[in-house]
Structure 1
């Protein structure tokens, strides 16, 4: 974590320290800003919000949305909920893991893409679904996802 990131995180902590129920909005602000919530800042958060470090860790680890490590420039999430599995997401994830050379929670060698599982994108009628950055895409195949990746990473 860079000095600049630490400074920005401290600004977020100060902005949320007096907000009732401010932990989740604070965690979102930090992750939206630097891409993840570093475990090293849990003590600062706990002190500012009068929580224990264990409580902060518990919230971060409970919600799959929060990441504790840096991610790639783009994030690809593959839905693993029942509807998507029934429509072929397991095959899709296997093909994409092989193509990208990464497993879940890993980033491609070029730093462009991090692959993450997600447990429902709310797009069940268009399974299998993926989310690339902040955009949900339905009725996906390995070829369609590869085209999306090429467009954002190399386009």
Structure 2
């Protein structure tokens, strides 16, 4: 119950502070996600009311932009590059392997809460494709085997 109250107060504080800015919805959503790690479903009515928008309009923006999460992220977020260079170097097969290894899809979190998987459309590592980022660490020339090694190492540390 306390977490919900704290979450709602954070949402209200951010929304009220930014609602008078032109195009306030996106800055509000970004600040909420930055503060909470995601956009809780119960924040949509608050945002809609404060901005005099429908819930559908707010939800439409959240669901349109892949950056916004509607569920809490895992302790570590894996960003897997889906840009053309990485695709040309086998990222589709790597993507299939990653999803199978973690038993999740994009925008999901493993049941133990350790990892979330998110697509990214360029990490600037085109000469070392395919690439991924976990936290501040960027990895190039990622293979199924090197992915497994990194994940196993990070699981052991958490």
TM-score by length of 2: 0.83
Aligned residue pairs total 155
Conserved 8 A contact 2:79-2:118: yes
- 1:63-119 Cα deviation digits (max 9, x unpaired): 110111222111112122221111111121222222223233332222100122233
Tell me the equivalent position of 2:17: 15
Tell me the equivalent position of 2:26: 24
Instruction: Indicate which of 110, 113, 116 corresponds to 1:111.
Output: 113
Instruction: Indicate which of 17, 36, 39 corresponds to 2:38.
Output: 36
Q: Distance in 2 between matches of 1:50 and 1:123?
A: 42
Q: Distance in 2 between matches of 1:94 and 1:73?
A: 22
SS in 1 for 2:116: strand
Tell me the equivalent position of 1:87: 89
Conserved 8 A contact 2:69-2:107: no
Tell me the equivalent position of 2:65: 63
Question: Aligned pair in 2 of structure 1 residues 75, 44: CA closer, same or farther (>3 Å)?
Answer: same
Tell me the equivalent position of 2:74: 72
1:26 positional shift: 1.1
Tell me the equivalent position of 2:151: 149
Q: List runs of 5+ in structure 1 lacking aligned partners.
A: none
Q: List runs of 5+ in structure 2 lacking aligned partners.
A: none
Q: CA RMSD in A?
A: 2.1
Question: Aligned pair in 2 of structure 1 residues 114, 11: CA closer, same or farther (>3 Å)?
Answer: same
